[in-house]
Chain A
Amino acid sequence: MKKTMMGNYAASWGAQLARVQVIAAYPITPQTLIVEKLSDIVADGELDAKFIKVESEHSAMAACIGASATGARAYTATSAQGLALMHEMLHWAGLARLPIVMTNVNRAMAPGWSIWADQNDSLSQRDTGWMQIYASSAQEILDSTLIGYKVSEKVLLPTLISFDAFFLSHTMEVVDMPEIELIDKYLPPYKPDYKMDVNDPRSFGALTDEQYYYEFRYKMQKAMDEAVDIIKEAGKEYEKITGRAYGLVHPYRCEDADMILVTSGTIADTTNVAVDELRAEGKKVGNLRIRVIRPYPKKEILEVVKGVKKLAVIDRNISPGYSGIFSQELKSALYNEVDIPVRSYIAGLGGRDVKIEDIKDMANDALKNDAPNDLIWKGVKI
């Protein structure tokens, strides 16, 4: 069934289709619509779930952790400051190996107060043991929620699905809602091996000294490694029932490209249009959208970019004191593998629009200049 909806509602419907059992959330712009809609869905009896209206995001994540530890499917949504407040509990969910799925509307960190898009909020949580998906359409938000649970419950790692504030959270798109019967088959109830169970009383998360802690980290890394293939499989299986394919990276017109733009989020969709226009001008340019940044799809990226003459990364985020984060990750993936010059652009921080022309500017700049560059500020007013 096709419906026109805002990106935020696609997250709500995704959670509903996933039959989440416990929702715990705290309001923050621009996430509010997600949990308002879910409140309605639960109140109307369209979803058999318990919704805990918590007093902070820190508690939202803690409640999801508690619920998930008992074997319930748990969901929350947040943004920026809220995600930052959760930080401690994100590590907790990761190391407790709980398959929670969370939606994060990418919003710039304060101060100054900003409610507009950039990715510094979620990328600041990169090392918490969560898988991270960056969606670029409302459809993908809904689909990723379902795929997220599928993968999370298999590898026992939580999933964070992020997408740009307003550009996607509050814009209307047509979304195909899969039939619940199909989704029920795709995503059966969560049945963990280890959970809080009075018939099998164990403690979880006890003091763990150097004899064992290291091995838990090792196991987490192994799970992340496995997740690469499991994400692909889950994507393929999802394609069978919906016709929509999802991988870790989404290349667009990359096959014969001389230069590939590396993008994420809504910028990636705009870049596809820019690529079409550049191609029309005879420039052999492609776009590689990074959909999943943890686990990092190194092999998948190398497969696409090998043989290309140049790479240009566009980051709607920055690690102050170095450079854009997708750029750093890309360069670390290339090192020791292939020798391709990379030009790295920062664009659109704090919700500044990144238009087709802006992307073409960056692409043309990269085409013209062969020298690698770690940090080019697109459109900054000096």
Chain B
Amino acid sequence: MVIKFQNNDKPVIITGAKDMPPMAAALGSMLQNKTGSWRNVRPIIDYDKCIKCFICWKVCPEPAIKIVDELPVIDYDYCKGCLMCAEECPKDAIDFEKEGK
């Protein structure tokens, strides 16, 4: 019996050997790991300044910037707060604030 790959953001439930394949074959996606909790600072896009160059989208190593309705949108579930997007934004349209304020 093949254990199906679970392609969503839910954790895989394993209670013991019976729920595992013979070898360490993946059963689920790292989407379940919401890395947003790693963040110390929160980048915020000022859409008034945004020129839709998508450089922020391009340089995000997660990727945690999505393109929604032709606009870059930060997915705070996964953004680790590295601020590469803010650094590379040619219009300084990405500001940041400390998390937990």
Which one, B16-24, B42-50, B64-72, B82-90, is touching chain A? B16-24
Task: Give the residue of A97, A200, A204, A218 whose beta carbon is less than 8 angstroms from that of B17.
Answer: A218
Assess A194 versus B17: contact at CB under 8 Å? Given A200-B5, A201-B5, A202-B5.
Answer: no
Q: Check: B25 CB closer than 8 A to any chain A CB.
A: yes
- Residues of chain A contacted by B21 (CB below 8 angstroms): 193-194
Q: For the complex, count residues of B whose C-beta is within 8 A of A.
A: 14
Task: Give the residue of A206, A219, A223 whose beta carbon is less than 8 angstroms from that of B26.
Answer: A206
Task: Report the separation of the CA atoms of residues A215 and B25 in the bound assembly, to the nearest whole angstrom.
Answer: 13
Task: Report the separation of the CA atoms of residues A213 and B3 in the bound assembly, to the nearest whole angstrom.
Answer: 18
The answer to whether A216 and B16 have CB atoms under 8 Å apart is no
The answer to whether A204 and B24 have CB atoms under 8 Å apart is yes
Cβ < 8 Å to A, chain B residues 6-62:
14, 16-17, 20-27
Bits for A133-147, please: 1 = Cβ < 8 Å to B, else 0.
000000000000000
Question: What is the interface of chain A mostly: helix, strand, loop, or mixed?
Answer: loop
The answer to whether A215 and B16 have CB atoms under 8 Å apart is yes
The answer to whether B2 and A193 have CB atoms under 8 Å apart is yes
The answer to whether B24 and A216 have CB atoms under 8 Å apart is yes
Task: Give the residue of A201, A206, A218, A223 whose beta carbon is less than 8 angstroms from that of B24.
Answer: A206
Cβ < 8 Å to B, chain A residues 62-116:
95-97
Task: Report the separation of the CA atoms of residues A182 and B22 in the bound assembly, to the nearest whole angstrom.
Answer: 30
Cβ < 8 Å to B, chain A residues 218-265:
218-220, 222-223
- Residues of chain A contacted by B24 (CB below 8 angstroms): 95, 204-206, 208, 212, 216
The answer to whether B23 and A212 have CB atoms under 8 Å apart is no
The answer to whether B20 and A204 have CB atoms under 8 Å apart is no
Task: Report the separation of the CA atoms of residues A194 and B27 in the bound assembly, to the nearest whole angstrom.
Answer: 11
Task: Report the separation of the CA atoms of residues A205 and B24 in the bound assembly, to the nearest whole angstrom.
Answer: 5
The answer to whether B5 and A219 have CB atoms under 8 Å apart is no
Assess A215 versus B17: contact at CB under 8 Å? Given A193-B2, A194-B2, A200-B5.
Answer: yes
- Residues of chain A contacted by B1 (CB below 8 angstroms): 193
Task: Report the separation of the CA atoms of residues A96 and B17 in the bound assembly, to the nearest whole angstrom.
Answer: 15
Task: Report the separation of the CA atoms of residues A216 and B22 in the bound assembly, to the nearest whole angstrom.
Answer: 7
Q: Check: A336 CB closer than 8 A to any chain B CB.
A: no
The answer to whether A194 and B5 have CB atoms under 8 Å apart is no
- Residues of chain A contacted by B5 (CB below 8 angstroms): 200-202
The answer to whether B20 and A216 have CB atoms under 8 Å apart is yes
Task: Give the residue of B2, B14, B22 whose beta carbon is less than 8 angstroms from that of A212.
Answer: B14
Q: Given A194-B2, A204-B24, output 16 extra A-B contacts at Cβ < 8 Å.
A: A95-B23, A95-B24, A97-B22, A97-B23, A156-B22, A194-B23, A202-B26, A204-B25, A205-B24, A212-B20, A215-B17, A216-B20, A216-B22, A219-B17, A220-B22, A223-B22
- Residues on A facing B (Cβ under 8 Å): 95-97, 156, 193-194, 200-206, 208, 212, 215-216, 218-220, 222-223
User: Can you list 10 contacts pairing A with B, beta carbon distance less than 8 Å?
Assistant: A95-B24, A97-B23, A194-B23, A201-B5, A202-B27, A203-B26, A216-B22, A216-B23, A220-B22, A222-B17
